[in-house]
Structure 1
Amino acid sequence: MKSFEHVYRVHRLLKSRRYPVAFETLMEELECSRATTKRVLAYMRDVLGAPIETSREPRGYRYTDEAYELPGFWFSGEELQSLLTLQQLLATFQPGLLDDALGPLRKRLDQILESQGLTTGEAARIRLLRAAARPPGDHFATIAAAVLQRHRLKIDYESRATGKLSTREISPQRLVHYRDNWYLDAWCHQSDDLRTFAVDCVRCAEPLEASAQTVETEKLNARLGGSYGIFSGVPTATAVLRFTPERARWVAAEQWHPLQHGEWLPDGQYELSVPYHDDRELILDILRYGPDVEVMGPERLRSAVAERLRAAARRYA
């Protein structure tokens, strides 16, 4: 194990303990000899300027300055591999999305990993399959910067339902990655309300000097996260879905919504209750299960699903 790793482990241990750490504990953490442990402590104190003090009661080592951090770029080998894996996963997850921004960091991580005798190619053994994903468009970086820097945006937005283009001033709140596509939760100053925008439908994004209006997280979650799917709104109904025993074994292990309720029935069927506000996405998901699911309520949702099934059957008549 390299001294690089030794230093990091000692630093992490001293930072995490409220009381002095015994020398024997440091030896166990480093998995090395008494002499090597003393050399690591001396190197940290004399070269890195670590404020390490020896305590008599209780006996051990501690930092006299709790705010001290190691100079430079310090990670354990496992953390470096995790960072590199995440970057490679992101490249697969959304090809080219942050290549320019992460390129220099990735090269630096490669160099550090190689200096520690660690491999860099094993992340390719993780495979991500994406379904019905849309490219995030040319303005993802501008939108992400506005979210993080908390300033307003002027956007031209094309409605996918109508094809109409509208210009809006918005206060971005958060980016959402949902079903392989990117969405933006924002306060729309034109509508004077919260809205969710598909990032790939933003045709122009211009940063504004004005600060973004902040919406409390609790309100965001209540308005935009309380109902089923990506459509916003406080839940106004609860869908009750009954699945056949064959399909029940799969659905019982799935999470459709954080506030869902599931119940096994005596005949082996599984009944799932899901709160929703807008039924468009919910109907599409119900239709995926065909004859393996029945909508028990509410009646409006049951009728809508039945009509869609009849319309589909007529195409094959």
Structure 2
Amino acid sequence: MERIERIHALHRIFSSARYPVKVARLQEELECSRATVYRDIAYLRDQLMAPVEGDGEAGFRYDRGEDDRFELPGLWLSSEELHSLLAAQQVMRRSGGGVLSEALAPLQERIEKLLDEHAGGRRVPVERVRVIPHRTRKLDQTAFRHVATAVLDRRRLAFEYRARSTDEHTRRVVSPQRLTHYRDNWYLDAWDHEREGLRSFAVDRISAARPLEDPATDLPEEELDRHLASSYGIFSGEPRGWATILFSPKAARWVADEHWHSRQQGRFLPDGRYELKLPYSSGRELLMDVLHYGSDAEIVEPASLREQARSLLSLATANYDRPPG
């Protein structure tokens, strides 16, 4: 249980308690250690100004003369929780209706209720917080609805796919596994029956989608996580190696605070540069992110990835060696 959940749980317990609550019961309710209980009570009393009274022997409760007047302050959410709630809300609003919006309508109601609860019953002006989409690609809403239907109904899906990298057109029959929203775009993680392997498809490149009557083949969650979450970005798979990237002291101030991968390793070097190591399967997305930093980033290893970056930079500079147009 996260701290914010424990604080709210403590507030509910103390608000309804007629007698002091023993620490042992709080440990059980909050699923945490005795020391954590004391820290959370101290935070509730000292930082949030809650009318907590009592001690470790007799137990704790709210002062009966003050508890009716105390509420947890305002919208007490972490930045990650606030972003998650509002992002989910705005993704649903942008989905253009259809099966996904209908399926997630109860979630929309729960989000609004949760925001109201955190604001003490006052209306939360969510329009004051924006989640701005970045480089969102246009979707065929009909294809999207068919994809979402197949995912939710657990049915196989047939569609035409136009690969962005090669512009090749292929016909696919897949068992949908997950619908993934990543970097403001939708991807279908699926088992490709003809190729007998897991693949990720950009939904904006899918056309002529048609759910089939055959039930989808479900793969174990462990296998999906191992294949789709083990490497860098959406172009996942079993890692084929680790990349080492050096960032200048100027860029280090940004990169050190960024989350690139769940298994990343980072450290500051004596000269102020930042060294980042992370596993990857396909270098395409990693190269795009590294080259985003321009001269402030350098791929050190592996040599093949370093050479790919050098070639891309050479091609880019060549565009400026000739007249524009």
Q: TM-score range by the shorter chain?
A: 0.5 to 0.7
Displacement, 1:128?
1.2
Residues 239 and 280 of structure 2 are in contact (CA less than 8 Å); yes or no, is this contact kept in structure 1?
Answer: yes
Match of 2:278 in 1: 274
- Normalised to the residue count of structure 2, the TM-score between the two structures is 0.66
CA root-mean-square deviation? 4.0
Written as runs of structure 1 = structure 2, the 5 A alignment for 1:79-94 is 89-90=87-88, 92-93=90-91
The alignment partner of 2:278 has SS state of strand
Match of 1:125 in 2: 128
Displacement, 1:221?
1.5
- In structure 2, distance between residues paired with 1:315 and 1:172: 41
C-alpha distance after superposition, 1:152-176 (max 9, x if no partner): 2222222223334322221111111
Displacement, 1:285?
1.2
- In structure 2, distance between residues paired with 1:254 and 1:109: 27
AA aligned opposite 1:243? F
Residues 152 and 211 of structure 1 are in contact (CA less than 8 Å); yes or no, is this contact kept in structure 2?
Answer: yes
Residues 147 and 173 of structure 1 are in contact (CA less than 8 Å); yes or no, is this contact kept in structure 2?
Answer: yes
Residues 150 and 211 of structure 2 are in contact (CA less than 8 Å); yes or no, is this contact kept in structure 1?
Answer: yes
Instruction: Say whether 1:295 aligns with 2:287.
Output: no
Quick one: which of 151, 155, 159 aligns to 1:155? 159
- In structure 1, distance between residues paired with 2:241 and 2:306: 12
Residues 88 and 124 of structure 1 are in contact (CA less than 8 Å); yes or no, is this contact kept in structure 2?
Answer: no
C-alpha distance after superposition, 1:97-135 (max 9, x if no partner): 165636799799989x7xxx9554601111112111113
Which stretches in structure 1 are left out of the alignment for 5+ residues?
1-8, 34-76, 80-84
The alignment partner of 1:280 has SS state of helix
Quick one: which of 202, 220, 225 aligns to 2:224? 220
- Residues 197, 105 of structure 1: alpha-carbon distance in 2 compared, 3 angstrom cutoff: closer
Residues 236 and 280 of structure 2 are in contact (CA less than 8 Å); yes or no, is this contact kept in structure 1?
Answer: no
Quick one: which of 136, 149, 154 aligns to 2:139? 136
The alignment partner of 2:226 has SS state of helix
- Normalised to the residue count of structure 1, the TM-score between the two structures is 0.68
AA aligned opposite 1:149? D
Percent identical across equivalent pairs?
39
Displacement, 1:146?
2.3
The alignment partner of 1:282 has SS state of helix
AA aligned opposite 1:286? V
Displacement, 1:202?
1.5
Which stretches in structure 2 are left out of the alignment for 5+ residues?
1-11, 18-24, 30-59, 77-82
- In structure 2, distance between residues paired with 1:177 and 1:239: 25
- In structure 1, distance between residues paired with 2:260 and 2:111: 38
- In structure 1, distance between residues paired with 2:227 and 2:108: 38
Match of 2:95 in 1: 97
- In structure 1, distance between residues paired with 2:280 and 2:107: 42
Query: More displaced, 292-301 or 151-160?
Result: 151-160
Written as runs of structure 1 = structure 2, the 5 A alignment for 1:20-39 is 31-32=67-68
Residues 86 and 131 of structure 2 are in contact (CA less than 8 Å); yes or no, is this contact kept in structure 1?
Answer: no
C-alpha distance after superposition, 1:205-246 (max 9, x if no partner): 222222211111111121121111211321111111011111
AA aligned opposite 2:297? V
The count of aligned residue pairs is 258
- In structure 1, distance between residues paired with 2:315 and 2:107: 53
Written as runs of structure 1 = structure 2, the 5 A alignment for 1:3-14 is none
- Residues 247, 32 of structure 1: alpha-carbon distance in 2 compared, 3 angstrom cutoff: closer
- In structure 1, distance between residues paired with 2:112 and 2:299: 53
- In structure 1, distance between residues paired with 2:188 and 2:129: 28
C-alpha distance after superposition, 1:38-95 (max 9, x if no partner): xxxxxxxxxxxxxxxxxxxxxxxxxxxxxxxxxxxxxxx989xxxxx98865464464
The alignment partner of 1:207 has SS state of strand
Residues 190 and 200 of structure 2 are in contact (CA less than 8 Å); yes or no, is this contact kept in structure 1?
Answer: yes
- In structure 2, distance between residues paired with 1:265 and 1:110: 46
